[in-house]
Copies of this chain bind each other. A is one copy, B any other.
Amino acid sequence: MQAGSCGPCFTLEIRVKYADTDKMQYVYYGRYYEYFEAARNEMLREIGFEYKQLEALGVMLPVVTSHADYSIPARYDDLLVIHTKVRALENVRITIGYEVTRKHESKVLATGFTIHAFINKQGRPVRPPNEFKDALAKAGIK
């Protein structure tokens, strides 16, 4: 996954707030996971299948694994771009990848991924709804 050249890749711009920084002057490492969440929500919206629609079908997508690698600090008031794509759609899981740059820059500040399980209201793993798979397929994601 590369900023600027990623297949069906979605982007979200986020302005760094004071609330996101810590006394080291940089964005707090745990805050990136909020950026990732906002970015995958917008990706699903652009794909045409909002996360709320999944919930309406009784399916939730809790995170089972989260991971981030930080190489260059982001700072207050930076206008970040979160580049997001579906990395894998398996049996009962989906893996989403993220890459963070500053706007109009190609240097990657951080990368990460989250793995989500499709579960029903009883908490049991289920296959993703067909409507969801269809929306992904239409967006060029298999």
> Which A residues contact B (CB, under 8 angstroms)?
15, 17-19, 21-26, 28-31, 33-34, 37-38, 41-42, 50-52, 60, 62-71, 73, 75-77, 114
Contact = CB atoms under 8 A, between A and B. Distances in A.
A126 to B, nearest CB: 16
Contacts of A73: 62
B23 A21 contact: yes
A22 B17 CA distance: 9
B38 A30 contact: no
Given A33-B30, A69-B65, A77-B51, A21 B18 contact: no
B21 A37 contact: no
Closest A-B pairs by Cβ, 4 of them: A30-B33, A29-B63, A21-B23, A19-B34
Contacts of A65: 67-70
Given A37-B30, A70-B62, A70-B65, A22 B23 contact: yes
Nearest to A52: B77
Contacts of A68: 65-67
A30 B29 CA distance: 9
A100 to B, nearest CB: 14
Contacts of A67: 65-68
A57 to B, nearest CB: 15
Of residues A19, A31, A76, which shows the largest number of chain B Cβ atoms within 10 Å of its Cβ?
Answer: A19
A74 B76 CA distance: 20
